[in-house]
Every structure is written in structure tokens, then in C-alpha cells.
Amino acid sequence: MPVRLHARALLLDMDGTLVNSDAVVERCWRRWAERNGLEPESVLRVVHGRQGHATMAALLPDRPMDVNLADNAVMLAEETADTEGVVPVAGAPAFLAALADWPHALVTSASEELARTRMTASALPLPPVLVTAERVSASKPDPEGFLKGAAELGFAPEDCLVFEDAEVGIAAAKAAGMRVVGVGPRAAAHTPTAHVASLEAVRVEAAPEGGLVVTVG
């Protein structure tokens, strides 16, 4: 049964939501896991959605944060240099085209350079507002990024609808007081407001009373 959600602005995660970068993420984080004596599959279960240094802190809690930050700079450089296998999520081009005249922002744990690189590699247009890793003091699941995106677009949290794929991103959206559409298999287990297998199942239309109606499913 389709779900209809009214919103005035949309806040969009990038990796796993608009861009399928799993191949790069897995390559880079497998190498990191091996360098640090960790089991790669265990590492890959927790990397999605967070900034790299936050993932490192969770996996190596006794390591000083300045080491994690330096290591994360290396990781970002590796990920930015590797675009092999980076493609749009199914339905992402048409979805973003439908949003062209509506308020929307990208809220991602990636750096601005990495976000621009992956959106370009996927041939996707950048939203008019970017909230990237450099622009927040805390990584998802902290709600700061989504709250900042809403404020920059000029809307209250309850007027915004988030699109996310990862557990920490869904938690961040909920903590911001926002409804969230979970996209893809990772999202299904984390009780989003609504869930779709891909963006192909999302339709965006003008609402008679103003704003948008987003039909999911």
C-alpha cells in the first residue's frame, strides 16, 4: 500500500541513498581493517553512514582521536581517488530531476570533495545546499547535519522529509524530529517512517495546499 507524505523540503543522504559507492567503501575499509589487525567483515558492518574518524573511534576505542583524524584524512584521499564502480542508485536521476524546482539539500558524512567526486562520477546534479563533514561538529547519529540542512533551506524540522539508507542516518533524522524514508536493504530493519527498495518507487508532486506530496511504494 503506497504511503503519502507531505513535506516542504527534502534532506538527502548520499552514499547508499543517491549513490551506490559500496564497491569503493568495501575496498578501502577492507584495506584499513587489515592494516589495523581487524576482521574486515566486522568492520564493514559498522562503516555505513558515519564519518570515518567516528567509525575508527568505535572500532578502536583506545586509540587517540588525533590518530583517528589523521587516519581518516588518508582514508578520504583513498576514497576520493577511487571511483571505480560508483554508480547512481536505481531511480536517483529521475528523483533528483523531479526535485529540481523544490527545496532540497544533501546531508552527508562525506567531505565536500568526496561528495562532489561521487555525485559527478554518478552523473547526478548536486543539490543547491550541501551539508558535508566539514560543516558539522558531530557525525551521524547526531542530528546536527539534518538540523543545519533544514535551517539553511528555511524550514522547521517537522516540515522536512529525510531520505536515508543507514542505521545511524535514520537515527539522526529521528533525533532531529524528522520523518524519514528508508532506501534499500540496509534501511529496512531500522523502522523508518516508510521504506522503499529503491528510489524508483518514489513519486514527487506538488501538493494542492503547497509544498510536496511524496508517494512511497
Question: Catalytic residues, which ones?
Answer: 13, 15
Sheet with 104-107: list strands edge to edge: 129-131, 104-107, 9-12, 160-164, 179-183, 194-196
CA angle, 54 then 40 then 142, to 5°: 20
Report how far apart, in Å, the C-alpha atoms of 19 and of each of 7, 67, 69, 105 are: 23, 29, 25, 15
For residue 204, the cross-strand partners are 214
Tell which residue, 146, 168, 163, has the closest CA to residue 155: 146
Q: Which residues contact 73 (CB under 8 A, 6 or more apart)?
A: none
**Cell digits for 95?**
528523483
Check: CB of residue 143 under 8 Å from CB of residue 113.
no
Note if the bond before 141 is cis, omega within 30 degrees.
yes
- Cα(158)–Cα(176) distance, integer angstroms: 9
Antiparallel, parallel or unpaired: β 202-206 and 194-196? unpaired
